[in-house]
Structure 1
């Protein structure tokens, strides 16, 4: 499998002798990436806001799902290991751009990335799992204490430097990669996916669907049905999504989940507000499977619950076996 070549151990970049023009270019690149800038490459690489390492032990438990924050601007593509995830969540971030969270339970790819920073919404989303491991590059300084106190295993390069490396095929900050096997010895298995998803035969009804596009202010996702592969082929911003080993990313089920996206308490270094995606509550959803779209509803009563999906008449909604993409769209 072709993957980014191994780079040096991640460390805080120290660029001496750079010109003012180059520094300005780096700041502009960070802005385009939609990140919160607190570290030298746009992400704060501290693992905990209180300066301590993860207090649940140096190694996450084997039964823990692995959630990885994945960069999704054009400079970060093609991504690595995205096709191996059990679930991929797409969320809106600063500037109307998007970021992904890939969740791994049944198998670990050799490499995942590029890895980027966490957002406040991730903490609510991840409460449905039992002490998940969150791999991320860093976070806005004021958010780090919340991450440190959340019921999860936060792992940045500072906490597990042997599990991360910098590739040399993309510019920083879009070149940080994770070796999941060095962070968690083996995948926990499907039972760790406490998402509330059901799998089985398709419900009755539905409407034939060839393609569906979900738009953010500065990003878009298109899912095109392939009769040959029986999967929804992903394109992002008009370009087919293909991983670094030339695998087309194509989930079996796509969920367009309509949620409240509001302003959070955090801002980036230019004062742009960080969106907060509310994943607890209820609302409308569209489920794409088997070349059809099914109108339905979603419900997640508390943060520790998974999300239940039903048809409009209240019948539990089954997903097709295989990878699931959940795209959060503004209600």
Structure 2
């Protein structure tokens, strides 16, 4: 089931036993969820540019009612410009092997025609996605030992092994930076709508105070994000690794709200083919955060008591820190 070139191809701190808790939680959730989330399907690493193989290929299925679409998106220089990133409601940025970064784009209010390049999933994604009701996860594959955990998770895993017709290899880029997704193939009922965004975020008027902020940079060992306020766009222009970010359509992402969320980052038990261990980003717990909106920065505390909860952000006086209407970027920074 090869992936050919498609038409229109673009040229806080948790407990020390967090991983054990996550594994146990996923196993418990699997009692009811795994039968419909694909626990009997076959997976593959699928991140080397070759078409993943499955002994039981299946066509795309109908989406779960109210299910968001989460897509793992490549973010190294060879993968840019990305496609469909500006249509996401929320974009999460996390550190991966070698100090590089990867994105997870979440779609609820609209679906772009194409999204990509699509890359592999990480253990941290499973905890992050528990906040949604059986989300659809589009990814190119995963480390072999992680695949059983993904299949047991209360989500709908959709790699090319499960839905080959939804993916294609674009022209003009080398593998593995050329795998693209047609979201409509996974979401035939269309975008589920804003109510599916059970993130815990609150939107409304800006809080009092704040610090005038022209730009904010978050650094990983081998990557960095810079957000520069643009009054004309009423948002924060995104730059990655010192280069202005653009989509293949020429648009510059300019999220209305940017969150720098300080989290505990530990070493996962999983690693890449070079032996680099995958960072595990803990998104359950509490910690410090910075909320950027309307050209100002607001200090906040984030809280997510359980994996099934959304994340709330409160100011020093205990009141919620409202986000501005529009796209939100959440960058996980090591506490």
Same-fold status (TM-score > 0.5): yes
Question: How far did residue 7 of structure 1 move?
Answer: 6.3
Q: 1:189 to 1:216 in 2, by over 3 A?
A: same
Question: How far did residue 58 of structure 1 move?
Answer: 3.1
Give the TM-score of the pair, scaled to structure 1: 0.85
- The residue that corresponds to 1:130 in the other structure is 133
- The residue that corresponds to 1:232 in the other structure is 236
Question: How far did residue 167 of structure 1 move?
Answer: 0.4
Answer yes or no: is the 8 Å Cα contact 1:38–1:269 preserved in 2. no
The alignment's C-alpha RMSD in Å is 2.1
- The residue that corresponds to 1:202 in the other structure is 206
Q: 1:275 to 1:308 in 2, by over 3 A?
A: same
Question: How far did residue 59 of structure 1 move?
Answer: 2.8
Please give the alpha-carbon distance, in whole angstroms, between the structure 1 residues aligned to 2:45 and 2:124.
Answer: 19
Answer yes or no: is the 8 Å Cα contact 1:87–1:324 preserved in 2. yes
1:327 aligns with 2:331: yes
Please give the alpha-carbon distance, in whole angstroms, between the structure 2 residues aligned to 1:71 and 1:40.
Answer: 11
Please give the alpha-carbon distance, in whole angstroms, between the structure 1 residues aligned to 2:301 and 2:53.
Answer: 39
Uncovered stretches (5+) of structure 1, i.e. residues with no partner: 9-36
- The residue that corresponds to 1:299 in the other structure is 303
1:79 aligns with 2:70: no
- The residue that corresponds to 2:100 in the other structure is 97
Question: How far did residue 63 of structure 1 move?
Answer: 1.8
- The residue that corresponds to 1:145 in the other structure is 148
Moved more, 38-47 or 120-129: 38-47
- The residue that corresponds to 1:17 in the other structure is none
Give the TM-score of the pair, scaled to structure 2: 0.84
Answer yes or no: is the 8 Å Cα contact 2:72–2:105 preserved in 1. yes
- The residue that corresponds to 1:41 in the other structure is 48
Answer yes or no: is the 8 Å Cα contact 1:43–1:139 preserved in 2. no
2:118 to 115, 119, 124: 115
Deviations 1:239-298 (A, max 9, x none): 101000001111000000000000011111222111000000000000000000000100
1:315 aligns with 2:319: yes
Question: How far did residue 158 of structure 1 move?
Answer: 1.5
Answer yes or no: is the 8 Å Cα contact 1:44–1:140 preserved in 2. no
- The residue that corresponds to 1:24 in the other structure is none
Deviations 1:151-208 (A, max 9, x none): 0000011111111111002111000000101110100000000000000000000000
Uncovered stretches (5+) of structure 2, i.e. residues with no partner: 9-43
Q: 1:162 to 1:300 in 2, by over 3 A?
A: same
Q: Number of matched residues?
A: 295
